[in-house]
Structure 1
Amino acid sequence: MKITLKDEFPSIIDVAYSEYKKYKHISEIMSTDLKYIEQERTMLEAAKSMGEHHIGSLLVKGQDRPLGIVTERDLLTRVIAADKKPSEVRVFDVYSPRLVTIRPQATIREGARMMIKQKGKLVVTEERRVVGIVTASDLIKSLPEAPETSVLVKNFMTKKVRAVDSEEKIIDVAKLMGKERIGSVIVVKNGKPWGIFTERDLLSKVIFKDGSLEERVEKFSSSPLITIEPDWSIHRAAKLMVSRHVRRLPILEDGEMSGIITARDLVEAYSV
């Protein structure tokens, strides 16, 4: 990404807006379009609902408040990696009853710290009512241009990058992701990094559309790769993620894959 004059010499308005974002509240970035599922439903139904709405979690419906939360990671680790059929597993069997809650008046910085410390999406509550939810993607949209966001991605990237051949079956790739608790793999074609396959691809491109898990992973991967360099700032990486609607960026150094950074990694960098 080319650095512009605006980046080098921000206007007074730009600086003022950046200062404002430092104190932005969770209520300003949370999603209020909450999606629920009954605990008696199957994980196949949960996966299709998440895939349809392009989200990674559903609140489990209770009488007065949610019973808990079920996520795309639950599908991978507790169903597919365990050799179970999503159509035969109930949401009740895998959802987490622990909700990470936060007040709508909390700042973005407080939200970032809580997300990393508690390791979960943030459920926004007010007077015991759930009023919103905040994901890592929501947080990075509002990262201010503060000194802490000028740190480099190489200090927070994951150096171990899992790669699979483009000919591998989706079911095998999904099991690998579930067993290793990772949200994506780099897809290699003709010996070179060609694309990326994510847990969201599994939900939205395969399960929601009744695709076969026996298909080759290449068919449902995203290509070409959107890559960055290790010396990028986390703020610059966040801006690219938001503009390209992705949550992961592979990192190339001298033409070689040296790591990957996720939206959650950027939140962690900001929260330190």
Structure 2
Amino acid sequence: MKLMSSVGVVGVGDMGSEMVAHLVADGHRVWAYDPNPERMKAAEADGAMAASSPADAAHHADVVLSVVMSDDIPAAHSGPDGILAGLRPDAVVVMCSTTTPAVFDAVRGNAASPQNVVDAPIVGGVKYARERSVTFLVGGDPAAVDQAEGVLTSLGSVQRVGSAGAGVKYKLITNAFVMAAEVGLREALDLTDILGGDYETALRLFEVGPMAAVVKRALDESNPRPLRASAQDFDALLSVVDDPARLPISAAGRNRLWAAVEADPGHEPMFVELTRRTTALSEYSQGDRRS
């Protein structure tokens, strides 16, 4: 029988909002915070109680899930309104963001009890959060991980990968592999353009080969993700090496993905558009976002 906890969720955007609903359904008492009022209304409609700040969410919680974008981590965790200011001595904060070891170490170093800071970046997108099938790559003190796991298993599965900081590192490692395949899909379609082929035939052939899973994920509009977020993940990945040339595939992939993101300054592309001519090389691009 699962032990119910009081859970703080800081960040109730695309991922966090799905988590709130599952945590409430499993009987956890949830305190949610997000600076966006509309997101807060949605979290309350799902059964969460509204916290006035990240510190307030942490004050009420046995386990705090931090589900913010990497750039928002310092503000969400530090200062008088940050998670660490409200974190109780017996509580654990779980950082679910894709970030860098340096950012994680900075948060952990500022905590009154560093052993109570766990890293658990997520493998899987919005669709997987909705289906309770994300995977958390968890690093941390065994006792803190035990405490966090009772909450995380309401949302998906847990892979313990080592001491504090290991989750962040292994997420970057897995991203290097996954994102190389995703950019490879875009490059294969670039070659389709160059050779005068059509996308429908190319994608159909990709789906019957070894890259079928990559194509299926790219085409899945039930799992929305801004393409910019993927480009930023490449930036995070390359920031951990002293010279991007040491990871030449990732460096080239980062450049190609940012070119796709910035192809139309008036349009913010979604990940599915890797399979469309809106992200093609400039001489082949088309404005129709459906093809």
TM (norm. structure 2) is 0.21
Greater percentage in helix:
2
RCO comparison, higher one (Cα < 8 Å, 6+)? 1
Greater percentage in strand:
1
